[in-house]
Amino acid sequence: MNMKVGQNGKALFVEWEGLKHQVYSDTGGEPTIGIGHLLTRDERRSGKIRISGLCIDYRNGLTTEQCYQLLEQDVAIAEKSVNDSVHVELNQNQFDALVSLAFNIGGSAFRASTLVKLLNQKQYDKVPEQMRRWVRDNGKVIQGLVNRREKEIALWNTPV
């Protein structure tokens, strides 16, 4: 599979993640910037993010354009996780919903998930209940994650 997130999917990332030009703490207290970009240890240490091949000092904030470029890079990683691990046919909305989940929980957690195992056995109907399992941050149920999963499920269930 080699699908890409559609424009509707990208619009939802901005809606769900928000767009912040300055560093903020996510629900788990982790430093984040842009459209849900979790700062890596190296980025935190250096104060720089590589965006479109350039090292950008983010400490005084990012431009809106840089936030969108960073989203493109981050989405490409999540798209690869879904494309590499899902071996059944998906429609665009199903793909976008899974990329949103992979973007939010991380590629390795997505690839190792029961959701992927069941989906690859063509158990499409089990995906929503599996998505609902991913609502905790540091062991606590986070209402924002509950809301996001329900929106991802609604997208998953929307015919193209």
- Catalytic one among 26, 43, 137, 150? 26
Q: Which residues pair with 56 in a beta bridge?
A: 49
Per the annotation, the verdict on 26 as an active-site residue is: yes
Question: What are the backbone dihedrals phi and psi of residue 121, each rounded to the nearest 5 degrees, phi first?
Answer: -95, 15
The 8-class DSSP code of residue 12 comes to: H
Place of tokens 């960073």: 70
CA quadruple 79, 12, 125, 140: dihedral, nearest 10: 90
Per the annotation, the verdict on 129 as an active-site residue is: no
* Spatial separation of the C-alpha atoms in residues 104 and 109, rounded to whole Å: 10
- Catalytic one among 15, 17, 42, 79? 17
Which sequence positions are flagged as catalytic?
17, 26
